[in-house]
Amino acid sequence: MLEKALLNKVLQVAVVVKDLMKSVKTYNDDYGIGPWSIYEFNPKTVKNMIINEKKVEYAMKLAVCDINGVQWELIQPLDDKSIYADFLKKHGEGLHHIAFGTPDYKKTFNALKEKGKKIVQGGNWQGLTYTYMSTQDDLGVIAEIYDIDPNFKWPVPEDKYPK
């Protein structure tokens, strides 16, 4: 048994969708969940892109909002390379991953690797390293962990909803 939790806080819940703007409007207009900040992740905006432990370039559009201290994320794949595109093909829209806080990114990453977990996707966006680990067989969901530069600040969104 572990002395300390490897994953100690829920930071984000992420849902893969087919049509980002349609989903954002439904969440906001029909359920009051929002406002949304919208970004595109692609090889121009993300460094060190990885899929299944290999360098692979991919693209997605995402929208984020805060629900009582937990970030909610909607993701639309923009190509067929990402794990989001694969998820849509196999499962349709739905819960994809949960981002967890860690007491120490490097120690948690190494502990997960020691458990045989692999990087299923990752990259570095504006000083925020995101790493999806292959925890779905153990946890029923992919676990995402972050290594965040102390100077990280959310950039101005490319779009917002509502405007």
The CATH number given to whatever domain includes residue 123 is 3.10.180.10
Domain tally, the chain = 1
Does 129 map to a domain? yes
pLDDT digit string, tens, across residues 71-113: 999 999 999 999 999 999 999 999 999 999 999 999 999 999 9
pTM for this one? 0.94
Does 23 map to a domain? yes
Q: What is the pLDDT of residue 2?
A: 64
Q: What is the pLDDT of residue 36?
A: 98
Does 3 map to a domain? no
Confidence tier at 130 by pLDDT (50, 70, 90): very high
Cβ neighbors of 116 (< 8 A, separation 6 or more) are none
- 16: exposed, middle or buried (Cβ count in 10 Å: 0-12, 13-18, 19+): buried
